[in-house]
Structure 1
Amino acid sequence: MSEPVTIIGNYLSPYVRKVLVCLELKGIPYRIDPIAPFVGNEEFSRLSPLRRIPVLLDGGLVLNDSTVICEYLQDRYPDPSLYPSGAVPRAQARWLEEYADSQLGDVIVWRMFFQKGVRRFLFNEGTDDDVVRKARDEELPVALDYLESQLPERGWIFGELSIADITLAAFFRNAVFVCHDVDASRWPRVAGLLERAWALSAFQTLATYENDMLRTPLDQQRSVLAAMGAPLTETTLGNAPARYGMRRLA
């Protein structure tokens, strides 16, 4: 195994979580600079021109976008495979990954988690309760209805654990952060998949860090993570004043 790769991005981001779970499952050593994109300095802007997380550094290689990163990791470290075999199931898995990145990103991350967490604690701005209510009561149920129609009654979506299972579970973790659980009586297939995925040691390992980060101000998170033994980089790019960047976190 080569030198550890470096990941730039916060543990509370579902896009970062997706990449970290892939690294954990493949046994790839990594270090992390757990910044939010809103506090990235000029070097962060150079590495991530859209000011999105995650960013992967592997030697001289710089990659942006969680989907691109996960596909690179699969190509370079093919075992265990986290993509189905066969053109059709692989395409279907990539679609579910994109659906999560796009639709669940909008609904869960931006209209729920950002409104109730990031906007209030990082920017000292009020929560738009109408946005949260519409996302929770109208938009998320539509997404759940669709996903319920796509998932099997039991097991993983394509028989073996894949990027589709990982990505869906990564995004619904952020719904839990704002106290919203999937109703198992209404969406049993989604709820069952999440339960199975979150029980994996990869998700459990990350949850230890995530749960503490939720209770820790952003400027104190690095020191708390260091005390917990997180695999941190020696330096950080997250030392600039908070400012809005590009909307999607990649």
Structure 2
Amino acid sequence: MLELYQFELSHYCEKVRLILDYKGLSYRKIEITPGIGQLDIFRMSGQRQVPVLKDGNEVIADSTEIALYLDRKYPDRPLIPTDTKERAQCFILEQWADESVGINARKLLINAVGQDSTFLTSALPSGTPGFLRSLVQSVPREAIEVVGFGAGASPDAVKTARKEMHRSLESLSNILRDQPYLVGDQLTLADLAVAAMTMYVKFPVGTYLELPAAIKGKGSAELINDPMLQPFWDWRDRIYADFRKAPLTAASSAASSSSGGPTSINID
């Protein structure tokens, strides 16, 4: 079975989960705990970031490389258009989603963490002891803001990210008023990338992600509640309803990761 080394709250891992579900491929999630230890992932893939996909003896890092590998190895329900123009549009939109939408969404999430400690504790691994969760929740807002500055999420940067995100979602809404998908009439990698990269702007409602119910449907309120952006959110809800599968039960997930337990790495 395919093995996805992942971090549940990572939107790049969510992109791969959407791809795997769309293609109908069974896979086992192996949760990676953020931290300084990275030996297992580094030994396996030569780098420290997730997602990493293991398919037998094949090990693939990076969400885009994983997508291209899966399309070659498992060609049913293709992600990449065969038409030259549509193929180019797909790759441009996918790269834009990763490098613009995804980065701005991360800044908005860091800001949300400073406003609501629920987001911070939700990012902890499921096996984190209660006392440690309480300790994290008690971190002063000022300390979180300092971390935000270091991560490029100063108040000015967040303001710019929100403005750019609104412009992006408005443009996507306009595209999606007249067509079902971003590149023509068929779903492509571009659709799944955009859907995943906006996860931090509004966490999907439902059982798709193994996250506390308290943060589902939450995110950047100004962008969630703007009527101008509703076509985009309706479209993303449809992408999830049509293609994303519910995760394994907690018991199944625990069993699937018991072969080695969580590994501690840096999430860059």
Measured on the aligned residues, the alpha-carbon RMSD in Å equals 3.0
Out of 195, 208, 219, the position equivalent to 2:237 is 195
Q: Which amino acid aligns with 2:172?
A: L
Kept in 2, the 8 Å contact 1:165–1:193? The answer is no
1:45 to partner: Cα distance: 2.1
Deviations 1:84-129 (A, max 9, x none): 23111011111111111111121102x1224544995468551347
TM superposition score normalised by structure 2: 0.70
- Greater Rg over alpha carbons, structure: 2
Q: Which runs of 5+ in 2 are unaligned?
A: 125-135, 149-153, 204-217
Q: Which amino acid aligns with 1:203?
A: R
Give the stretch that moved more between structures: 141-150 or 94-103: 141-150
Distance (whole Å) between structure 2 residues aligned to residue 192 and residue 153 of structure 1: 13
Alignment of 1:1-250 (within 5 A): 4-38=1-35, 40-109=37-106, 111-117=107-113, 120-121=120-121, 125-127=143-145, 128=148, 130=155, 133-135=158-160, 137-157=162-182, 158-177=184-203, 178-180=218-220, 181-183=223-225, 185-200=227-242, 202-206=243-247, 226-227=250-251, 229=253, 232-236=256-260, 238-240=262-264, 244=266, 247=268
The share of aligned pairs that are identical, in percent, is: 26
Kept in 1, the 8 Å contact 2:102–2:198? The answer is no
Deviations 1:105-160 (A, max 9, x none): 21102x12245449954685513471674156423123224434544524122201
Give the stretch that moved more between structures: 163-172 or 147-156: 147-156
Deviations 1:11-60 (A, max 9, x none): 22111111112212222121111224546531112234441110011111
Deviations 1:50-77 (A, max 9, x none): 4111001111111111011011111111
TM superposition score normalised by structure 1: 0.75
Q: Which runs of 5+ in 1 are unaligned?
A: 210-224
